Chains A and B, each alone.
Chain A
Amino acid sequence: MQGFLIHFQKKAINKSIYNYNLTMKFLNYFLIIGVVFSFTLGLFSCSDDDPAPIPVVSTIFSDLDADYAPFEPITGPPTGPPKRIGETNEFTFFSFATGEIVANTDSATSNWDIGFRRSEIIFNSGANGPGNTTALMLEDIFDEVLEAPADGYASDTDNENVISSSPQNTGAPANYWWFNSGSGSSTVVAPIAGRVIVVKTSQNRYAKMEILSYYKGAPAAPDNMADEDRHYTFRYVYQPNDTRKFE
């Protein structure tokens, strides 16, 4: 309990380093919420002496639509990059606890953990949400991540998301989730094999996930002309109990 509190404070301070605009008032607000929240959580879990653990299951969520819209056909010489007129520019939110998509109207709540829009992935905290969902990325095999790391979780900031939306490039930091496996100017978004995202939700529960495909139906050899992109298929395990273990 104490460890958690210290960790939470550290997070808040870390965050202020990234964002000088945070006022002390805002910081305090966060601290108070954190303290109150963690106490209730602590009371809740301490009061139940003999909890019947809820089973942990590995689930594949297929074809989460992250603002897909078809390209506008071009007639005549091009005047710029191809456009997609039907796109909404909105995120699709997901909750690990329910295993379901959360309505976009709930964006200002902590009902969602993670949001997807094109290749951009956000978490519900920091610069991108009112919640307290933080995350980190490991280079490992999904099934071999048996325990969530104790710390290292971060929130998106105004400058940088926890998971970068750009393609990986030589020498880039390791928080990239995809690289361009297409040739030349044709971009094929390939989720990098062996990247596991570990999420600590607003409810202080852990989930791990691996993105498997960015194309509808998770085709073995995606074609960026024929296949519909912006469709996430991912595997995840949500630990509903108060433990970092994924077993």
Chain B
Amino acid sequence: MPIFAAMFSRFSAFSIVFLVLSTLGQVLAQAEFAEDSLRTRELDEVIITATRNERTMGALPMPVSLISNVKIKTMGSLRLNDVLTEQTGLVVVPQVNGQGNGIQLQGLNPEYTLILIDGEPVVGRNTGTLELSRLAVGNIKQIEIVKGPSSSLYGSEALAGVINIITERPSGSKYNFKSRYGSNNTLDLGGDVSYTHKNLGVYVFGNRYSTDGYDLSPENPGNTVSPFDNYTFSSKVTYKLGERTDLSIAGRFFHEDQRFNFEVLQGSSRIQTSGTGNTQDWNVNPVLTHRFNSRLKVIGRFYTTKYKNNTDLNFEDKSAYYNDELSQSFLRPEVNGEYYINDKNILTVGGGYISESVQTTRYDDGAERFQYTSYGFFQHEWMPFDKWSVILGGRYDRSNIYGSQFSPKLSSHFDLNDKIVLKASVGKGFKAPDFRQVYLNFTNPAAGGYSVLGSAVAGARLKELQANGELITSLDPSQIGDLEAEESFAINVGANVEIFPGLKGDINVFHNQIDNLIETQIVATTIFNQNIYSYRNILRAYTQGLETNLNYPILKDVNLSVGYQLLFAKDRDVKQAVENGEVFYRDPNSLVTRRLSSGEYFGLYNRSRHSGNIKLFYSNRQKGWEASARVIYRGKFGIGDISGNIQGETIPPSDRNSNGILDNYDDFVAGYALLNLSVAKSITSGFRFQLGIDNVFDYTEPVFIPNLPGRIMYAGVSYSFSKKGNQ
């Protein structure tokens, strides 16, 4: 490995750039224009997530996109965040504590996008965000992204949209081994095996990922991302029980160990701290599919998953700094049926039951807490004419925590002519209050003794403190009622257009109206002048904008795409207050206070008004060459009050003029563009060699974008073998 590491000098960076550019240059030299074969290939793409049934992408009336494993391979990605960060309209953002990777979709926070593996939810959201780097991409067949609320099919969390990872199925007999080594001593080893024999199919995938992490501010002790290694195993076994019955059992196991060593800021001194963090998850998902006849298909599934996280950090004298344990389990039996009434009508009906539990040291007595949800859903696909289709769906969820929720969705698509397809959908989405918001009972002795109480705990605890005379001020405890689900109502209107042969574009205009957003609020102050916080449904917001993509095969083997998202995300109450002239700002230099005008309110933190990408993909199967050059842009954005620090440095909020909101005069994190390059060559013996550089210009922003490592250079070798004729 050290030999490899030495190879990765600055010089090799340039040589890779040169290689990619010269490959693309060669291609341009042998200019040959694309034929229609490319168009037909794309029409074949099938998406499951939007309707729970296999439907061709072009026929779907809501904004959907698909990332194929071929693209993922060419990009050289290893983890899910690597892939998603390059997609139009998706922004990978740190969690609330400033670390990790979550996904922002249509300007909504990571907790509002449901992430599924083969249609089943991935659990384990620390502070609401699902860590995307937990998911390896080596076993992915395709990633499907549905934008706009999809609670009508998937229930809670599908408020902004759904990202569904479709994993490989057993197909033929083949195996594949992959290795990649790159900057930060990052080694990725993995492979998969597919075997089919008569009615049996087996697919097994294994991956080991290890990295030294990285350090964006070497002047501060510790790493920005501490070293870690993880293992992923997944498998899928399929068995044809009969002519009409299929059984599939999928499973996954993941384990990660991280080693921390840093200093904690206490007052004005820094204290050496070290420890470990372990994350583990597993799931099992048996699925039984039976076709009663050519019209009726019924699928039964029983999904079980468990997530565990353990953080154990101690000061140098072995006294505890932070110890936290969380385990979450999720169990869900579900049955759904798809019935072809006739050529014009398809009905999907289903129902299920979810039992979910969380146990953590941060809850009252460490006892396990449960949430039960039962649900039923329907979806009617109606195609009155060839050119026109309508999908009406709805889902009813009933829970012991938030009561009940009905989420309807109506969408329609219309082929105006063979060049233009119009699409529109309206729907409701929701997110159930999570366990933390309901059951948390946490007092932080280190930070001066403030407390955070979940909604189910707060009332009783406040009464108790009040009776003991420990409170100075308090809201009426009876006012702190049960939390309601957070809700959205959204409209998406768009079109797919073939502007001229080969040049395709799509556009989608969206508006998400969000109500009942849960936010922490001070509910009482103790006689020791410490605040007690609880969660309440107090915020209202909206996000709106448009997303557009253009795609053009500039040459036979070269595809150019451009994507752009325009986004406005605002707090509706702040917007109203600004319009009423009730919001001011004080210039920090002249100390003069002025009234803020509507146009000066920028909006919510951590949202870029402009983001986009330009990508060039080259692929020539005969010659075995692939290459890509991708530019990813994210516009300026603001930083709110983040409760965390990066390597002992607090993350300064953007507000510069004492109004606590983000306006045009505040300090923004500047926009940036990343250039990623890759090139690969396959040879007939089954070997494939890849070189790549992500973030060629080594852009970093240590405090505000700690999840962005600097320049990453890598080299990879893979070998695949497939036994033809046995497929």
Closest Cβ neighbor of B522 among chain A residues: A169
User: CB-defined interface of B635-655 with A at 8 Å, one 1/0 digit per residue?
Assistant: 000010111110000111101
Closest Cβ neighbor of B586 among chain A residues: A193
| Residues A170 and B650 in contact in the complex (CB < 8 Å), given A78-B446, A183-B641, A194-B593 | no
Q: Contact: A181 with B268, CB < 8 Å?
A: no
Q: Contact: A169 with B521, CB < 8 Å?
A: yes
Query: B37 within 8 Å of A by Cβ?
Result: no
Q: Contact: B643 with A181, CB < 8 Å?
A: no
Q: Contact: B655 with A190, CB < 8 Å?
A: yes
User: CB-defined interface of B511-543 with A at 8 Å, one 1/0 digit per residue?
Assistant: 000000001011001000001000010100000
Interchain CA distance A71-B267 in the complex, whole Å: 7
Interface residues of B in 594-647 (CB under 8 A from A): 594-595, 639, 641-645
- The listed residue (A185, A191, A213) touching B448 by CB distance below 8 A is A185
Q: Contact: A77 with B319, CB < 8 Å?
A: yes
Interchain CA distance A168-B267 in the complex, whole Å: 23
Given the complex, which residues of B lie within 8 Å of A169, measured CB to CB?
521-522, 531
- The listed residue (B589, B650, B659, B667) touching A186 by CB distance below 8 A is B650
Given the complex, which residues of B lie within 8 Å of A194, measured CB to CB?
582-586, 593, 595, 659
Q: Contact: A170 with B652, CB < 8 Å?
A: no
Query: B293 within 8 Å of A by Cβ?
Result: no
Query: B128 within 8 Å of A by Cβ?
Result: no
Q: Contact: A213 with B591, CB < 8 Å?
A: yes
Query: B269 within 8 Å of A by Cβ?
Result: yes
Interchain CA distance A181-B315 in the complex, whole Å: 29
Query: B240 within 8 Å of A by Cβ?
Result: no
Query: A9 within 8 Å of B by Cβ?
Result: no
Q: Contact: A225 with B525, CB < 8 Å?
A: no
Given the complex, which residues of A lie within 8 Å of B643, measured CB to CB?
183-185
Query: B670 within 8 Å of A by Cβ?
Result: no
Interface residues of B in 284-325 (CB under 8 A from A): 315, 317, 319, 321
- The listed residue (A73, A160, A184) touching B644 by CB distance below 8 A is A184
Q: Contact: A74 with B266, CB < 8 Å?
A: yes
Interchain CA distance A210-B447 in the complex, whole Å: 31
User: CB-defined interface of A209-237 with B at 8 Å, one 1/0 digit per residue?
Assistant: 01011000010110001000000010100
Interface residues of B in 570-600 (CB under 8 A from A): 582-586, 588-589, 591, 593-595
Q: Contact: B584 with A171, CB < 8 Å?
A: no
Chain B residue total in the interface (Cβ 8 A): 49
Given the complex, which residues of A lie within 8 Å of B269, measured CB to CB?
73-75
Given the complex, which residues of A lie within 8 Å of B266, measured CB to CB?
74, 77-78, 82
Given the complex, which residues of A lie within 8 Å of B645, measured CB to CB?
183-184
Counting chain A CB atoms within 10 Å of each CB, the highest count among B521, B522, B525, B585 belongs to B522
Main secondary structure of the interface of A (DSSP, over half): loop
Given the complex, which residues of A lie within 8 Å of B519, measured CB to CB?
170
Query: A139 within 8 Å of B by Cβ?
Result: yes
Given the complex, which residues of A lie within 8 Å of B655, measured CB to CB?
181, 190
Given the complex, which residues of A lie within 8 Å of B585, measured CB to CB?
193-194
Q: Contact: B658 with A192, CB < 8 Å?
A: yes
Closest Cβ neighbor of B588 among chain A residues: A220
- The listed residue (A78, A141, A172, A181) touching B653 by CB distance below 8 A is A181
Interface residues of A in 183-212 (CB under 8 A from B): 183-186, 190-194, 210, 212
- The listed residue (A73, A139, A160, A220) touching B656 by CB distance below 8 A is A220
Query: B660 within 8 Å of A by Cβ?
Result: yes
Query: B657 within 8 Å of A by Cβ?
Result: yes
Interchain CA distance A235-B590 in the complex, whole Å: 12
User: CB-defined interface of A33-56 with B at 8 Å, one 1/0 digit per residue?
Assistant: 000000000000000000000000
Q: How far is the CB of B680 from chain A (nearest CB, A)?
A: 43
Given the complex, which residues of A lie within 8 Å of B473, measured CB to CB?
160
Q: Contact: B582 with A191, CB < 8 Å?
A: no
Q: Contact: B586 with A212, CB < 8 Å?
A: yes
Interchain CA distance A184-B644 in the complex, whole Å: 6
Interchain CA distance A169-B523 in the complex, whole Å: 10
Query: A175 within 8 Å of B by Cβ?
Result: no
Interchain CA distance A218-B588 in the complex, whole Å: 8
Query: B271 within 8 Å of A by Cβ?
Result: yes
- The listed residue (A80, A184, A190, A218) touching B591 by CB distance below 8 A is A218
| Residues A141 and B584 in contact in the complex (CB < 8 Å), given A171-B538, A184-B641 | yes
Q: Contact: A220 with B589, CB < 8 Å?
A: yes
Given the complex, which residues of B lie within 8 Å of A221, measured CB to CB?
588, 652, 656, 667
- Known contacts A71-B267, A72-B267, A192-B660; 19 additional CB pairs below 8 A are A71-B268, A75-B269, A77-B315, A77-B317, A78-B446, A141-B595, A142-B593, A160-B473, A166-B525, A184-B643, A184-B650, A185-B448, A185-B643, A191-B658, A192-B659, A194-B583, A194-B659, A220-B588, A233-B591
8 A-B pairs, CB-CB below 8 angstroms?
A139-B582, A141-B584, A181-B641, A182-B653, A184-B650, A194-B595, A218-B591, A221-B588
For the complex of A and B, list the 4 residue pairs with the smallest distance between their C-beta atoms, beginning with the closest.
A194-B584, A82-B267, A220-B588, A184-B643
